[in-house]
Structure 1
Amino acid sequence: MEMLWPSPGVEMTDTELEALYGYPADRTWVTANFVSSVDGAVTVDGRSAGLGSPADKKIYLLGRDLADVVLVGAGTVLAEGYRGSRPDVARRERLGLAPELPIAVVTARGTVTPDLPLFTDTAVPPIVITTARAELPSLPAEVVVAGEDEVDLGVAVRELEARGLRRINLEGGPKLFGTMVAAGLVDELNLTVSPVLAVGDAGRIAHGPAGAPADLELRSVLRADDVLLLRYRRRNHS
């Protein structure tokens, strides 16, 4: 991967990518990871995999390897066929991180079932973040109640923090991301722009309640062939 900005022409090593995409060590931090087409589509044929590339996969896996937990909505778990994470244990141990990487799934209505690969094909039990009114089946997971009718995402983040899970890798979907942005809970966005015009009726990466736009500053731009990898941070948010 070649850096276009702020240091043009630099070929990035894995160690340099780890430093570039690393989390702050002194606070809880939410980094969102998304891929979109040039015309803003978040999926092709209903799945983000249709926009993928080797470069996007590399940064996607790096985002997981650097995190304490993956945060994802139940709709994305179902649409993308989520399984338990398989991080690079050697890398995580070298970086001083726990070898296990749990997945925390947000479901206000209790739409996950114990037969999903998320529960049957995993080395570490997931965390299910839900509401008091959700009617969940018995699940092989840690269940966290964060709200009565709707999931209070601020509470959800604090519950993860209380478990020592401070590096939060937000993988979607658009509704969860949009609601997190509206609540001021997203610190950083890693966005891969796929060189595709998807057209169609696919949604965009964020969908949720209207509010004041979140002002971002560009932190770095990488290129891998025709793919752009952009890293943004909330402005005035060091």
Structure 2
Amino acid sequence: MAVRVPIRPGCPPPYRRRMPGQIPPTAPSTAPPAASGTGSRGLGCLGCAGLVFVAVVALFVQLTWDSPRDLPRVAPGEMARRAVRHSQEAYDVLGFTRTVPPGARRTGVGAENTLRAGDCHDGGLLGLEDKTVDGAYRMVHDWALDDVPESRAVPGLRRLHRRLQEDGWTVSSYREGGKDGQDWSLYVRRDGEDERMSFTWSPDRRYFTGGATAPCAYDTGWTEGDGTSWSPSDAADQVSPPVLGPGRP
């Protein structure tokens, strides 16, 4: 005979052992999973910021290191010899046999063999400025030949184009003129933009021009803050080119 146990008001019912089939299924958890990638994303952001900082510092160091104000002090005569040497080497490769004395008889028409000096510019820390560097100059050697036939100019320019590449010069531009009278031209550079050479030949005028530019340098005769006026032409006035010709040292 079953015995009933009285239940007092306000008291929970007595525990009853349930059979396995009577156990209700457990409700799935609705709590969101832990964001396991949060930490890695945070570290990734810190890593990106670090890389940006390193890149900015590297750019600052490079711009500071490459500042034109760190130029060497070199006498104009030395830079003139450097520019003329490049012109003489190119002259030999081109195969010209004429001798060109210093000076220019008719600029843009006749033979030429001259030296001049230009300004050096400072782009500032970010390369956005255009300041002239006091006391600095860039020596340029200009030369030209008139009455140059195609049979001499074209093979010479092609030969020079190959030779300069072999010698480590970077070709900035090379153009072979066509039958419509376009000029032939060759522009090269080395050590970034510090040293440059250019060559052009005009089929219509049969005129060949060449030029070699030396790196910037401070004039040894210039002293900062001494109150004396100075210009790049002062550096050019101190030098004169030698005779330009085949096989000359």
Taking structure 2 as the reference length, what is the TM-score of the superposition? 0.21
Q: Which has the higher helix share?
A: 2
Taking structure 1 as the reference length, what is the TM-score of the superposition? 0.22
